[in-house]
Structures are given as structure tokens and as C-alpha cells.
Structure 1
Amino acid sequence: MTSLRARLRLPLIAAPMFLVSGIDLVSAACANGVIGSFPTVNCRTAGELEAWLGEIATRLARAGDASGEAAAPVCPNLIVHRSNARLQDDLAVLLRHRPELVITSVGSPAPVIAPLHDAGTLVFADVASIRHAERAAEAGADGLVLLTAGAGGQTGWLNPFAFVRAVRAFFAGPVVLAGGISDGVALRAAAVLGCDLAYMGTKFIATRESMADGRYKAMLVDSSADDVLLTSAFTGLPTSMLRPSIVAAGLDPDALPARGAIEIGTDIDVGARENRPKRWRDIWSAGHATSGVSDIPSVADLVARTADEYDRAGAMRGAFV
């Protein structure tokens, strides 16, 4: 981790977001000193994943030549649940490219830890409960991403203060806080709490480089945390969704059916053929950090603002401690 930190402008990961994190967003994040992550399933095939990693590497090499500084790490995100039929193919691509860091999601990291370690890759596992954190640590995960109340997408329910401190009681490795990081002040607070890094997701959705629909970005600017609804209706798991997007899809956010009961498309092409609203494509996710979204900046501008906030919060803390 020491060598990674030396290349970071901020202890921050641009969170891996389905249908949002792409080549432009990841490359811009890494070039500006923030770890850039993306779900490998954002690529339609393992071959496309290979192409993405090659293109990102080319852009970062070009940026490094221009600036004279090494870029922050690129961090693919592997969905390790058995429902991901592409897991082994995507893993094979990553083993060829040997990324410095991989984040695993939706299941135990155990099956992929040994091969990734053999490739020299650190494995961070995202977890939503203390028991899951214990199991991931026992399996040999190098770091833990704590999904807390207020994170976008499929989220956790634990209070971040309680979750971090409980995990720190048994885990000395890198801890990443996911949920509610809307500015540099919150990022500084995460560091004080005992976190090595934090996710920022929602604010990166509303950047020029993200793959999100322009209407999605505008909705984030117009919304607040009060517009984020926690529901299991669309995915079967507690998920943070934007109320206005649910309304726009012709559904009543206050009268949604039970867990996973909504008949809704899951594949982009199928959804288009069936002409039905589709989760992630038409019904959009956001975290509680929505209240911090006020415009649609470039990634460079967002990182610069966050760095200024982080530095000023550190100076203020020093004045009182």
C-alpha cells in the first residue's frame, strides 16, 4: 500500500459503478491522482475488457509522459457471485494484465485470491456486515471495502462509525469506507475514523467523463438525499435508487411491491426490445451524497475541489487538536 499511496493525490477511489464507470472516467481519475475502478461487466465481453485495459494503459502512459508523474492505479471490480458466467474469463484477462489492485463484490473473494496474489495483485473485498468482513479477512483479502448505510447501488445498512470501529478491532489491513463521501471534509473524517481510503461514487456519476445518461446527471443536480429511496423491489437486495427516476418509469415509489417482485428487464438489448423500464438504465441509483451534487464538472475539477476541501479540513482539525 505504501507504493500506492505515494501516487495518490487523495486517499480516494472513484467507485466502480455499473453502466457509469468507463474508459474516460477511469483514465481521468487515475491521471488526477485518484484510484479509478470499474466493474468488469461494464465490458460486454472478456475481449472488450482486454481492449479497455489496453486503452486505459495507453492513455495513462501518455498522461504520465506529459506530466512527469505516475498515475494512480487502475482497479477492476470482479463480481464473484456464481451468477456471473464471465467470472473465469474476466479473471483470465486480469491475470494477463496483472493490475495492482482488484476489488471483489457480491460474494466471497476466496476463489480468486490465490491466482490474483500469484499475479502480484492486491485483493480488496467489499463487505456489508461484520461477519462478512471477518470471513473475507480469514480468506486472505488484503483490504476490506465497508459498504455502509447511504452508499449507492446495492448498499449496506450499518452506521459507518460503528462499522469501521468494529472492523478495526480485528483487522489491521487497509479499510475503505463506502457510503456518504460527498466532499473532502467527509474524506478527512473517514481518515480520522481509521480508514485508509474511501469510495466516492455519486459525485463521479455527475462528471462529464462518466457514461451516465445526461438526464441522469441532471437529475442528480436537481435531487437531494431525500430523493434517495432504499428498496429491494428491483434487485432483491436493499438498493439505493433515485425516486424521480422511479416516477419517470411510471411507478409509484411509495407503493412498490415486495422484494424483487417487479418484472423489469435486466439485459440492455432485451430491455430495449421489450420496451420496459430497466433498472440501472432507466431507474437510476444514487447514494446519500446526492445532496453534495450541484453541477456537472470534469473529473479533474472534481478532484481539485475535493483536494482543496480535504486540505482545508486537515488544517482546521490541526487548529483544534
Structure 2
Amino acid sequence: MPQNGLPPALTRNLRLPAIAAPMFLVSGPDMVIAASRAGMIGSFPAPNARTSDDLEDWVSRIDAALSNDPDAAAWAVNLVVHPSNSRLPEDLACVVRHKVPLVITALGSPARVVEEIHSYGGLVFADVNSVSFARKAAAAGVDGLVLVAAGAGGHTGATAGFAFVEEVRQFWDGPLVLGGAISTGHAVRAAEILGADLAYLGTALIACAESMAVPGYKDMIVAAGAEDIVPSKGITGVTANWLKPSLIAAGYDPANMPEDKRPNFSDAQDDAKAWKNVWSAGQGVGAVRRVEPVAVIVDRLVSEYDAAATRPRFAPIEGVPA
């Protein structure tokens, strides 16, 4: 392991210590390939492929594009391990067949997939949104933890990143990823300083040219700010952050959202209907100001990261000794 705690398979060709977070109805093969070629780890959620056969096609396409590219970074598939996801066995079999280098689990215990992913040398990172879930994932034998902190888009957490990293680092010394309103290179560097090895960037990439987001979604992202983000479990049954204008357009009252929805991930396409016109974003949305290619976004993030990394540790106040 390198000094930053990451295995070599994940540090290869990384220009930025970050993962392009898997986003429902947003991340697809084009985005994964572009992110990996730009120098960050690309990823997508398996349910974005309509069927397990479609997933086979997606994984084959990504593998063909990146496996022989000497400059590409690693990539990942996000598996939904919630008990209601009846597709998991087929999706897992596809991942194992293609020996996907990194699997990120979400919405349940990673124990269901750890042994099979490890059988071919793959890595398992677990997406967790609380300290208690982080402890359970660590006990299940994962290789890394993805801390989904307050302010994250999609299914979000309630714990501030500062507190989340500090508490998890008291019992976990392995690879650690932090997500939650991280949309600039400065924020990526801040995550490292806190004790994370990688940052998890989602919202910053929703409006990229390669994303599957529809034009109206991208336009709303570009126009939005942090005050446009509304947390609610009324859409999927799990608390997520939503764009207020999209809630209003879909007929919801952002100040009076339903809270009796029960989570059910048995049919990805039924889930897609819920997300089709109600769009998610994190509190870092204010940093997104235009639609542009992933490569351009990553170049800017790297520049910001480098500037933050070279900033002096303390800027003396005039007249006060350093």
C-alpha cells in the first residue's frame, strides 16, 4: 500500500484523488470512460442499465475502452445490495465475470458480495451514511468505506463530514472516501486534510457533456444554489437531497413532503419513474456554472487542488508574529 492507504490498483493514473460518484440516471458508460481517461476513478450504478443483459453490454464496453488504455484510471460499478433488489445476483455475476476492479455497495450490507468480489482480487468499498453503518461495513470485511456526509446529493447522510471522518478514523485505518458537497479541487484537498484518501464528487459532474442527465436537469443544476436543495424521503423512502424547482414542477410542496414512502428497489425502472422528473443534487451545486466535458471539469479541479495543496499552512495577520 502507498502512504495514502490506497492500493496501487486505485492510484494508477490518478490526477486527482477522487471518484466520480455513481449517480442514478446520470452516470453511464460515456461518463465513466471520460472520467477515467481524465484522471479520476469513474463509476456508475448497476440499475442505470435497464436489465442485467444491458449491464453486461455496459461493462463490456467500458472494459474494452479502458483495459488497454495505458493512461486510464480505475473504474467501478455500484451495486445496490438492499434486500428488495432482486437483480443483485445477476448483476453480481456480471461484475465477477468481468473482474471489475472496484465495487461500491449501497443501501445495505456489503457482506452479500465481499467474498465473490475478493475471489478474483477485486476491491469492495461500502457506501455508508452513519458511523454505525460504517462499523457494520468494516466488520463485513470491506476494503474501503465511502462516507456519505450531510450535503451529499442522492441518498444522503446527516453527519457533517468533519465529524464523520474524525469518528470513523478512530476505528478504521483503511481506505476512506468522503462525499458531501465536494464540488471543487479545494474541497478535494480539504477532504484529504481531514483524513480521507479520496473525495466523492457527484453533483459537480451532473451537468457534464457526457452525463445521461436530460438537458432540463443540466440547466437546473447550472442555475441552482445550496438553498435550492431539499432533503426528503418522500420520493424513494430513503432520505435524499432534491432540487426544489423539480419538486415544485412535479406537483410537490417542498415544505410539506410526504414521509410515509417505503423503500423498494426490486424494480429499477419503477424507481426510475420516481426520479424521472424529480431531480437530485447536493449542496455543492452552486459551484456548477456551465455544461462542459468531463476532461475540462477535471482539469479545473486539478488546478484548484494544486493551488490548495501549495497554500501556506497559515497566513499571518499583519502585525501579529507568525
Would you say same fold, with TM above 0.5?
Answer: yes
Unaligned segments of structure 1, at least 5 residues: 272-277
8 Å contact from structure 2 (residues 129, 147) kept in 1: yes
8 Å contact from structure 2 (residues 46, 55) kept in 1: yes
Partner of 1:198: 199
**Structural RMSD (CA):** 1.9
Per-residue displacement from partner, 1:8-40 (whole Å, max 9, x unpaired)?
A: 111110000011000110010011111011011
Structure 1 pair 270–312 and aligned structure 2 pair: CA distance change class (3 A): closer
Offset at residue 57 of structure 1 (A): 2.1
Offset at residue 143 of structure 1 (A): 0.3
Q: Compute the TM-score of the two structures, normalised by the length of structure 2.
A: 0.91
Offset at residue 255 of structure 1 (A): 2.4
8 Å contact from structure 1 (residues 78, 103) kept in 2: yes
Partner of 2:318: none
Q: Compute the TM-score of the two structures, normalised by the length of structure 1.
A: 0.91
8 Å contact from structure 1 (residues 230, 240) kept in 2: yes
Partner of 2:286: 291
Partner of 2:160: 159
User: Is residue 238 of structure 2 the alignment partner of residue 237 of structure 1?
Assistant: yes
Provide the identity percentage: 49
Moved segments of 4+, more than 4 Å:
266-271, 318-321
Structure 1 pair 292–23 and aligned structure 2 pair: CA distance change class (3 A): same
Partner of 2:33: 27
Partner of 1:275: none
Per-residue displacement from partner, 1:284-317 (whole Å, max 9, x unpaired)?
A: 0000011111111100000000000000001114
More helix by share: 1
Offset at residue 125 of structure 1 (A): 0.4
Once the two structures are superposed, the pairs formed by residues 77-156 of structure 1 within 5 Å of their partners are 77-156=78-157
Measure the CA separation in 1 of the matches of 2:271 and 2:181.
Answer: 33
Once the two structures are superposed, the pairs formed by residues 158-197 of structure 1 within 5 Å of their partners are 158-197=159-198
Offset at residue 267 of structure 1 (A): 6.1
Amino acid at match of 1:127: V
Measure the CA separation in 2 of the matches of 1:234 and 1:45.
Answer: 22
Length, aligned pairs only:
307
Measure the CA separation in 2 of the matches of 1:257 and 1:107.
Answer: 23
Measure the CA separation in 2 of the matches of 1:319 and 1:57.
Answer: 45
Q: Which moved more, 1:231-240 or 1:175-184?
A: 231-240
Per-residue displacement from partner, 1:217-246 (whole Å, max 9, x unpaired)?
A: 000111101000011211222110000001
Offset at residue 45 of structure 1 (A): 1.5
Structure 1 pair 267–36 and aligned structure 2 pair: CA distance change class (3 A): closer
Unaligned segments of structure 2, at least 5 residues: 1-5, 316-321
Match of 2:43 among 37, 40, 60: 37
Match of 2:16 among 10, 17, 20: 10
Amino acid at match of 1:105: A
Measure the CA separation in 2 of the matches of 1:226 and 1:179.
Answer: 15
